[in-house]
Chains A and B, each alone.
Chain A
Amino acid sequence: MRPAWVQRGNRWVFAAGCLATIFSGCNAPQTAQLDLTVPASAQDTPKTSSKASLRVAWLAIDDQRLDETSLGNFGNCSYVAKSILPWVNQQLCAINGTNFVKADDLARADLVIQPTLLKLYIQNVAITKSAVVVLRLNLSSHGKSSGQFICRGQYAGMNWSDSNEEMAGAIQNAFADCLRNIAASLELNIKLKHMVVAASN
């Protein structure tokens, strides 16, 4: 059996190794360009449905963030991406629901939506990556405002590899969550409107 001081020594070497590896994460700051891709499901032309009761048109997105390229930070690494707004726009326009479809042209739309991008970022909380997307949707119907709502999408998960793909994946997961919330909110909004119309008739 090894003497106690050797065992203690090993423990210190191990502790120092752990510290060294932990602190090796504090590299010099760097900036990484993320490649945000549109999922295949959003690249298809939105399907038209005869059951759909509302034609929805999306206006060009308004960006209220301080910087149009920034995607936040993870530790000392900053993330940026080009063409964020087209990436957002394309996926918004591909949203379909059971009660609405994308309108062929603005003039024939039953519901016009002005989206505003409020937040889009990734950050770390200890070893966890957290991506957040927040959009405000202003709705109008035949030239009259019909309210607004804010939709938040979020994804949090363990950081495994620090890779750009992992960070881009987290942002895309958060955006997918946001799209699901938008679709659900639109469905609810449309159902409520139908109830009001039915009640008034």
Chain B
Amino acid sequence: MNFIPAQVYGRGRSVVVLLALAVTFLSGCVAPIRVPISSDSRAQLGTVNGIVGLRQQEIGTDIIPSNLSNAMGSSGGAIGSIIGSIADASIDNARAKKAESAVKPIRDALIDYQPGNVLAADLQKALATVPGASPSHVDVRQVIDPETTAKWINGSGNASVLLVTLNYKLSPNFDSIVISAEASLHAGGNRLANIAQTKPDLPPLVYYNDLSTTVALPGLNGPQSPEGMVTLWAADGGQPARTALNAGLQELAAMIAYDLTAPAPLDGKLYKAPKDAETRQVTIIAAPPYQYGYVEHTAEGRAWLRLPSGELAAIIQ
């Protein structure tokens, strides 16, 4: 009988994964995530088709995971860790159920909002100024699995494909919306095969990065309870939520356009903060360890942070 959730105590492959983890820990380094593209390579892409892929149908929720197992493990040993893990699972489940129930008014207010279409239009505008990477059109599709995305890319014939997979969710206390995207460029017609790189679940690519932006509830004055936040987001048919999403998606498109022309790191590996550059913390996920990046670009009260492994994250300046 399963009495511990499968995601906490999963099945099989433990030894292999343990070895892989040990290798990762021992290597002790941050691997670059971003694959930059040069202007010369962009010029060889030919026709570019854009695809916005959506893995979700509505705005997501997030929780701050419970960490009792750590506290109980340090004082109670292995038994304490096990009891703590079970308590963590129960607390996380209760928090998730509460978040999914509380978010209903916002989802109802956004029932006709199409973030994929908004991002597609924003990308078309933002990329018009990027030589070589301006898409002829941008489709919006539901991502089912990596096989379907590979089919879209491999089926594009001679045209190159810019794939932007979108994710958007409310922060755990509902005070902001985190919009993130995985962007990749796949050269068509076997072009640039000599520089193509690989990433999990994607066909060979010539550009890749993870980008995110965090947008706050417009006009928020002072702290609010999560329930109060829901009421504010959903007011006027969800207008505050639409305003924030529109702004975030527009910024995300601008970030992708910017990142397509941003240079590779000087040493070809990690992105080190230039001397005197401001360093800020970014909260992409709800749980620690939080990441730090340096401010690479500022515009209209926003700061774009470059993380050591190359990701780009936008926060309030």
Write the residues of chain A forming the contact surface with B, with a CB cutoff of 8 angstroms.
7, 10-11, 14-25, 27, 29-31, 65-67, 69-70, 72-73, 75, 78, 80, 118-121, 123-128, 130, 132, 134, 136, 150, 152, 154, 156-162
Contact = CB atoms under 8 A, between A and B. Distances in A.
20 contacts: A18-B69, A20-B15, A20-B18, A22-B7, A22-B10, A23-B21, A24-B12, A67-B144, A119-B57, A123-B60, A126-B95, A127-B8, A130-B100, A134-B111, A150-B111, A152-B104, A152-B107, A156-B96, A156-B97, A157-B97
Contacts of B61: 125
B11 interface: yes
A119 B58 contact: yes
A17 B18 contact: yes
| 10 closest cross-chain pairs (CB), A and B | A128-B96, A66-B142, A67-B142, A125-B96, A20-B18, A25-B10, A78-B145, A127-B7, A24-B10, A156-B97
B134 interface: no
A160 B57 CA distance: 24
Given A18-B81, A154-B100, A31 B58 contact: no
B300 interface: no
Contact of B10 (A16, A21, A29): A21
B63 A126 contact: yes
Nearest to A19: B21
Interface in B79-102: 81, 85, 89, 92-93, 95-97, 99-101
Contacts of A159: 5-7
Given A14-B78, A67-B142, A20 B97 contact: no
B225 interface: no
B132 interface: no
Interface of B: 2, 5-15, 17-18, 21-22, 54-58, 60-63, 65, 69, 73, 77-78, 81, 85, 89, 92-93, 95-97, 99-101, 104, 107-108, 111, 116, 140-142, 144-147, 201
Contacts of B140: 66
A67 B147 CA distance: 15
Residue from B17, B116, B147 having most chain A Cβ neighbours under 10 A: B17
B21 A75 contact: no
Contacts of A124: 7
Contacts of A14: 73, 78, 81
A12 to B, nearest CB: 11
A134 B7 CA distance: 27
A152 B60 CA distance: 16
A17 to B, nearest CB: 7
Nearest to B141: A66
Contacts of A66: 54, 57, 116, 140-142
B92 A154 contact: no
Given A24-B11, A150-B111, A127 B56 contact: no
B87 to A, nearest CB: 13
A18 B70 CA distance: 11
B17 A23 contact: yes
Residue from B54, B57, B140 having most chain A Cβ neighbours under 10 A: B57
A10 B69 CA distance: 15
Given A150-B111, A161-B2, A161-B6, A24 B144 contact: no
Contact of A132 (B7, B10, B58): B58
A185 B315 CA distance: 43
